[in-house]
Chains A and B, each alone.
Chain A
Amino acid sequence: MATVNLIYFGSVMDITGTNSETIDAPATLNELNAWLISRYPGLSVISYRLSVNRQLITDNRQLVNGDEIALLPPFAGG
């Protein structure tokens, strides 16, 4: 089981109530996402993307110890 750091931004942070946490994650990114939605049901009604180690990820992947996973609502810079 991998220990990973989760980081939350923008409207995601309002749902999680914290800006980061460290957890023992399931094996894959898809499983982690499902776990997050069950833990924070509000995530199911908003739009967000996932990054692993500061790269946007659209496919599934194995998680490894020390991964930094961020939940990123739509960007709004400028």
Chain B
Amino acid sequence: MRTSKYLIEGPIPAAFVSKELSGHHSKTSAGAHACFLGQVRDDQVDGKRVTGIEYSAYGAMVDTVVQAIKDQLFKEFSDLICLHIYHSTGLVQSGEISLVVMVSSGHRKQSFAALEKCVELIKEKLPIWKKEFFSDGTSRWIQ
């Protein structure tokens, strides 16, 4: 199945975030970059610890949905300059990064607001599923 340019296999390394940020030096009209990093948490469930999460995605639909999210946010936030979304697929261990959202705007206020809105829209609309893996080797889909 076709994948998506917004999906990254495995955890997203810190170096990737740094490289993305470096790519913004040319956007000199931006006065603010706001960044959200989602990390896999080692929740305890019924005495078992979450060791990792396996993400699966409907890649072709992710492309469609991310474009719709971008269109919505650029319409809503006039100061927005650029917006980047990256989500992991496959296995990501606890403590590793599975979601990166970067928002740039002329001034700080809209970068904070657009970032929060973007993360909420991702949670609501992105066709991605996760399966928790536990310390005893069992697993379950998160609904």
Contacts and interface: CB of A to CB of B under 8 A. Distances in A.
Interface of A: 7, 9-11, 14, 19-20, 47, 51, 54-55, 68, 70, 72-78
Given A9-B56, A10-B129, A77 B122 contact: yes
B8 interface: no
A72 to B, nearest CB: 6
Given A75-B127, A77-B99, A11 B1 contact: no
Interface of B: 1, 38, 55-58, 60-61, 64, 87, 98-99, 119, 122-131, 141-143
Given A76-B143, A78-B38, A54 B124 contact: no
Contacts of A55: 64
Closest 3 pairs (CB-CB, A-B): A77-B128, A10-B129, A77-B126
A60 to B, nearest CB: 20
A70 B61 contact: yes
A76 B57 CA distance: 10
Contacts of B141: 10-11, 14, 73, 76
Contacts of B143: 11, 47, 73-74, 76
A9 B55 CA distance: 11
B127 A72 contact: yes
Contacts of B56: 9-10
- The CB with the most chain A CB atoms within 10 A, among B56, B58, B60, B142, is that of B58
A25 B119 CA distance: 37
A67 to B, nearest CB: 13
B130 A72 contact: no
A58 to B, nearest CB: 14
Given A77-B87, A77-B127, 8 more contacts: A10-B129, A51-B58, A51-B127, A54-B61, A73-B129, A75-B126, A76-B141, A78-B128
B58 A76 contact: no
Contacts of B38: 78
Nearest to A74: B143
